[in-house]
Amino acid sequence: MNYRHAFHAGNFADVHKHAVLARILEYLRQKPGGFRVIDSHAGAGRYDLNAAEASRSGEWRDGIARVWEKRVEADVRASELLAPYIAAIAACNTGFDLRTYPGSPLIAQKMLRGQDRLVACEIEPRSAASLAGLLRGDRRAKAITIDGWTAISAYVPPKERRGLVFIDPPFEDAADFTHLSDALAAAHRKWPAGIYMLWYPIKTREGPDALARRLRRLRIAKILRCEIMLRPPHADGGLAGSGLILVNPPYTLEQELEILLPALIRMLAPQTEQASLRLDQLTPNL
């Protein structure tokens, strides 16, 4: 699966992962001490929804466009939970028009305080140049041209001793599912107290289910799995769902997701009965 993000920016998977990302960052902001965000596969940072790639796929129209239009219709608690994510998107747009979608490094940057730091890693030359330009001049944020799989272990533990490692690889080949578990194992050995957030696409169940089995074998104490499915997975059916692995999640997050995920599904797939969600613990019996 080749997940070139310019074609997919703002799609339902982005909504899923970035809404949850914003919840974790909101939690980290509640304590006065600084935190660090390590974004291993940060991408270009910002995406023009009217550019050729996004226009050709049109995926954002079934993703962020639906949430943007229906955000005022969500119930009060879901609206509150979505507010940090929506605010980050609004900061990249003018008025009520939705023209630009911020990637994870810009969402994180919008939520940093003066004492917080962001390390955004990207190896693809054009994306890396775009990212560096966007973060230039912000002393809290640094763009580094480095392979994301190398960066995951290289930058932990951060000196703040508090923060998040966000791993959102392009899934250019099926081996990225194995890379996810291997990278987490290596980083977790160095920084067991860190929060880790891993994203994966769901096209069939084979890769995600194998990933879950490998993660259970790592015997990490706190692992939460969070998936949304817009349709049943099928080998020839394209992207059917979006999955997240959350290691050491904030203690409030699972209850928040019990409210937020159904609200997202109602916005993203209002006319289908095929949509579903999964929220469960992969924690082994230690």
286 lies in some domain: no
Answer whether residue 209 is part of any domain.
Answer: yes
pTM for the full predicted model: 0.95
Give the mean pLDDT of 241-260: 97
Is residue 154 domain-resident? yes
pLDDT digits (tens, 9 = 90+) for 112-158: 999 999 999 999 999 999 999 999 999 999 999 999 999 999 999 99
**Sign, Cα dihedral of 11, 78, 226, 193:** positive
> What is the structure's pLDDT at 78?
92
Our count of domains for the chain comes to 1
pLDDT in tens, 233-247: 887 778 999 999 999
Percent of the chain surpassing pLDDT 70: 95
- What pLDDT sits at residue 37? 98
Greatest Cα-to-Cα distance within the chain, rounded to the nearest angstrom: 51
280 annotated active-site:
no
CATH number at residue 21: 3.40.50.150
* pLDDT band, very low/low/confident/very high, at 34 (cuts 50, 70, 90): very high
Q: Is residue 3 scored above 50 in pLDDT?
A: no
Domain coverage including residue 132: 5-281
Q: Which of 14, 39, 116, 168 is catalytic?
A: 168
Q: Is residue 189 part of a domain?
A: yes
Residue 52 lies in a domain: yes
Rounded Cα distance, 271 and 255, in Å: 26
